[in-house]
Amino acid sequence: MASGNRILFLTPLDEGAAFTSLREDGFILSFSQDPSVIETILLEDTPDLVALDLATLSPESQRPFVQRCKELQLPVLALVPQESRSSFDLTLAVEDFILRPLQDDELRARVRRILWRTGSWNSGQVIRVGDLVIDQERYEVSVAGRKAILTFKEYQLLCLLASNPGRVYSRETLLNRIWGYDFFGGTRTVDVHIRRVRSKIEDAHHLFIETVHNVGYRFQGV
């Protein structure tokens, strides 16, 4: 369970099931229909993520709002109405976007992804997949009680994959996500690190990372 990450939803719509799932995960949710509320938020209530329903702003107001959020160091998840998906501005500098109506599993995954990428994810999160346990508070990984010693890059790769079981990540995506867009190494770097992670957490009874031929990798849920 996440522990206390705050999300500000700027939306006039109540999508109860998706919000209930986030609350059950321990997220603290607040709601407003007025985007200008970001200017008056008290320090102790500062959100870790702003979920902006684009329907609350005119097209010409969206870019200045996102820019203001960046100045305030507030990552933005855009909520895009289905009927507006063809006109969504892909150059809008949001961290990610999701189509509305919201699907709870997808919303939870995208929220976690943004918080993890921006360094806001609460480190008390423990990821458990079968016998694999990743304690993000202690930066410890164990399989069936046996501790695995990973380098930081190996650890980052494993956390990303294990946090999104079933999702296929291309080598290019993993390279950009873990090493950054300015990294000059090739995708072979990803293969080498995946092989090292496997050697440390897998055996005949524990197979976690699946190779997707000609694409990349995905984590197998148990």
Query: For 159-166, what is the mean pLDDT?
Result: 86
Q: Please write the tens of the pLDDT for every residue from 147-157.
A: 999 998 899 89
Residues listed for the chain: 222
Share of the chain above pLDDT 70, in %: 90
Structure tokens at 44: 């102790």
Structure tokens at 96: 């990610």
Residue 209 has pLDDT above 90, yes or no: yes
Q: Are 141 and 134 in contact (CB under 8 A)?
A: yes
pLDDT of residue 54: 93
CA–CA gap between residue 189 and residue 185 (Å, rounded)? 7
CA–CA gap between residue 101 and residue 70 (Å, rounded)? 26
Residue 1 has pLDDT above 50, yes or no: no
The model's confidence at residue 15, banded by pLDDT at 50, 70 and 90, is: low
pLDDT of residue 193: 95
pLDDT of residue 2: 44
199 vs 110, more confident: 199
The model's confidence at residue 184, banded by pLDDT at 50, 70 and 90, is: low
Alpha helices by DSSP H, 30-163: 59-71, 104-117, 152-163
pLDDT of residue 77: 96
pLDDT of residue 14: 66
CA–CA gap between residue 36 and residue 24 (Å, rounded)? 28
Of 163, 222, 161, the residue nearest 25 (C-alpha): 163
* Residue 111: Cβ within 10 Å count: 23
Share of the chain above pLDDT 90, in %: 40
Tell me the C-alpha to C-alpha distance, in Å, between residue 134 and each of 109, 113, 161, 170, 222: 17, 16, 12, 23, 15
* Residue listed under structure tokens 């102790």: 44
51 vs 160, more confident: 51
pLDDT of residue 49: 94
CA–CA gap between residue 220 and residue 129 (Å, rounded)? 9
The CA-to-CA distance between both ends of the chain, in Å, stands at 18
Of 104, 201, 97, 95, the residue nearest 158 (C-alpha): 201
CB neighbour class for 171 (10 Å; exposed up to 12, middle 13-18, buried from 19): middle
The model's confidence at residue 45, banded by pLDDT at 50, 70 and 90, is: confident
Beta strands in the chain (DSSP E): 6-10, 28-32, 49-53, 76-81, 96-100, 126-129, 132-135, 140-143, 146-148, 168-170, 209-212, 216-219
Q: Please write the tens of the pLDDT for every residue from 51-99.
A: 999 989 999 999 999 999 988 889 999 999 888 888 888 889 999 999 9
Domains of the chain, earliest start first: 6-117 (3.40.50.2300), 126-219 (1.10.10.10)
